[in-house]
Structure 1
Amino acid sequence: MTDLKEARAMTNPYASLSTAELIRHLSEEVSRLVRDEIRLATLELTRKGKRAGRGAGLFGGAGVVALYGGGALVATVILLIAQVLTPWIAALIVGVALLIIAAILALTGKSQVSKATPPLPEEAIQSLKADVDILKESAHR
């Protein structure tokens, strides 16, 4: 019988501990596990944050390069038109065309923003009012 207890004690170091000691060990292990999980989550979020920062920087750089590319294309169009017309008239035509495109985009954007305001979930509010009306009606019955 004692051999069996000794064998269990060798395979399970917690076999000889009291319930209070086991609970204390459990509490310590859970605390350590939670701290380790928080540390792991912090490291993971730090790593992902660095990647996101690098990605945002690359997107910004791409935007700057695209802006310069767009400027080069505009200059190309001006030079192409300048083959037929005076260069200042070619630049004027391209400039006016770009301003017209910008105005159309601005008006379209303004229209979209005005449709989105006020920023209230109107359909949800109407649905909620209908639910309240149904509850009031059923309460009167």
Structure 2
Amino acid sequence: MEDTHRTAPAASRPGSAPAAGDEPVGELVQRATEQLTDLVRGEMRLAQAEMTEKGKRFGKGGGLFGGAGVLGFVTLQALVATAIAALAVPLPVWAAALIVTAVLAVATALTALAGRKEVRGAAPPAPQQTIDSVKADVAEIKESAHR
């Protein structure tokens, strides 16, 4: 048996949207533009929320690192006091403190000299190899243009 009952096309049914091929191009472009705008806005809101969450975590992590730095500094001070106390057993306290202070001063000086050397090695703060490479490229282009 053949089914003789046929439904009307979607465009002719009341209350239904016309088929994609039946809509004017301007309407399709407008709808696509609106959907694209909505999509971009949604993605921007998502990115903003994600960056806000990451910013909070970075802030909390930075605060914890700062706290760890303070605790590390206090620990270093306690270690220095321990070294002085240990040396104070065979020596007078003033001599033990003077020895520990001298060792710390030498370590400070050596660290400062190493830092100075690194900073001088970084000067000038320009990408010199890139500048030289660009100059060589420009010279070669000029040379090939005059051939």
> Is the pair's TM-score, using the shorter chain for normalization, greater than 0.5?
yes
The equivalent position to 1:30 in structure 2, one of 28, 32, 36, is: 36
Structure 1 counterpart of 2:47, one-letter code: A
The equivalent position to 1:129 in structure 2, one of 135, 139, 146, is: 135
Alignment pair present for 1:6 and 2:21: no
Show the 5 A alignment for 1:1-141: 3=7, 5-6=9-10, 13=17, 15=19, 17-141=23-147
The structure in which a higher percent of residues are helix is 1
Cα shift at 1:14? 5.4
SS across alignment from 1:120: coil
Q: Which has the larger radius of gyration?
A: 2
Cα distance in 1, alignment partners of residues 38 and 90 from structure 2 = 78
2:85–2:93 contact (8 Å) kept in structure 1:
yes
SS across alignment from 2:121: helix
RMSD between aligned residues: 2.2
Cα distance in 1, alignment partners of residues 17 and 117 from structure 2 = 72
Percent identity between matched residues is 46
TM-score normalised over the length of structure 2:
0.85
Cα shift at 1:34? 0.8
TM-score normalised over the length of structure 1:
0.88
Worse overlay, 130-139 or 27-36: 130-139
Worse overlay, 14-23 or 29-38: 14-23
How many corresponding residue pairs? 139
